[in-house]
Amino acid sequence: MATVLVRVTHSDDLLSQMPIDVIKRCMQNLPNVKNVEGIKDYMKFTYKLYPKTLEKLHFGEKLTVESTKRLMLSDLLKDLDKGEYRHALIKKKYYKEAFSSMTYEEMAYVLTRLRPDYFLSEMPVDVIRRCVENLPTVKNVEGFNSINKFDFKNYPLTMRIYMLDKTKEETVENTKELMLSETFTHSEYYEAVCERKHFKEAFASMTYEEMLEVLKKVGEIDEFLSQMSKSVIKRCVENVPKVKGAENLVVATFDNFYYPKTLKKLYGDSTMKFI
């Protein structure tokens, strides 16, 4: 048996096709075999070397949702690094369903084993929502405290999906929350925001500090602000420059160089006023 395993190209493929009793015999006895050249490397029955064989032995011929879940949480995978662990999981047919069926503590454990943002962003939206809203309360999962803050810094891919889903209903409040979030990149912010039905009302409802934050995000600041009503423009022009920290920001310099359309709308054609 040892000689055959050494000679075949894919020893895991071969051994995993054997009956369970043969697999057990091999694992129990082959590590004791001596004097077969090259056998030492093949007798480490780890998941890295024999994934199919060990899955069959411990979880049956075909993985179900439940057995996939047990595999994801088992010590069989404890020696895999983050990349190896993720690769082992995503090859399984039911890994998303298995993750979805876990307790929050179990989910937290899985996220500590891989690069959490990439993995979680591949899940269905309802699973992402549950994780973002519930996992921060999980305690006593080793290593989870360092990754339990669900924000755009730590989970940019996941939080983008979460925020778009959370604010998908076209309301003023949802639009305001979306505009103030980090969902969009600088280059896509203007078009994405202006597609929202209530973006003007949302901007009008903001504090001056929030207005400044939006202007810092918008690439086309003049195009954006010139779409607002005169009263909103007037409030913005007169008060945003007074916000703490605004004095050195270009977006708070309301002159004809940066805001020609906006000031034309506010003062008319006859005035080239610098504020």
Report pLDDT digits (tens) over 45-70.
889 989 999 999 999 989 999 999 99
Looking at the predicted structure, is the pLDDT value of residue 28 above 70?
Answer: yes
In the block, which residue shows the tokens 């778009």? 164
Q: Report pLDDT for 45.
A: 86
Q: Residue 126, class by beta-carbon neighbours within 10 Å (0-12 exposed, 13-18 middle, 19+ buried)? A: exposed
% pLDDT > 90, the chain: 81
% pLDDT > 70, the chain: 95
* Residue 89 maps to a domain: yes
Distance CA 237, CA 18 (A): 77
* Residue 160 maps to a domain: no
Quick check: 199 and 170 in contact, CB under 8 A? Answer: no
Higher pLDDT, 134 or 35: 134
Looking at the predicted structure, is the pLDDT value of residue 21 above 80?
Answer: yes
- Alpha helices, DSSP H, located in the chain: 2-7, 11-16, 20-29, 39-42, 51-59, 65-73, 82-90, 95-100, 104-112, 116-120, 125-134, 156-166, 172-180, 186-194, 199-204, 208-217, 221-225, 230-239, 260-267
Last residue of a domain, one of 61, 84, 104: 61
Domain match, 57 and 75 both: no
Q: Report pLDDT for 275.
A: 45
Residue 142's CB: how many other CB atoms inside 10 A?
8
Q: What is the mean pLDDT of the chain?
A: 92
Domain match, 67 and 140 both: yes
* Residue 156 maps to a domain: no
**Lowest mean pLDDT, pick from 42-46, 169-173, 220-224, 258-262:** 42-46
Distance CA 53, CA 97 (A): 23
Domain match, 184 and 249 both: yes
Model confidence over 177-219: pLDDT tens digits? 999 999 999 999 999 999 999 999 999 999 999 999 999 999 8
Domain span at 18: 1-61
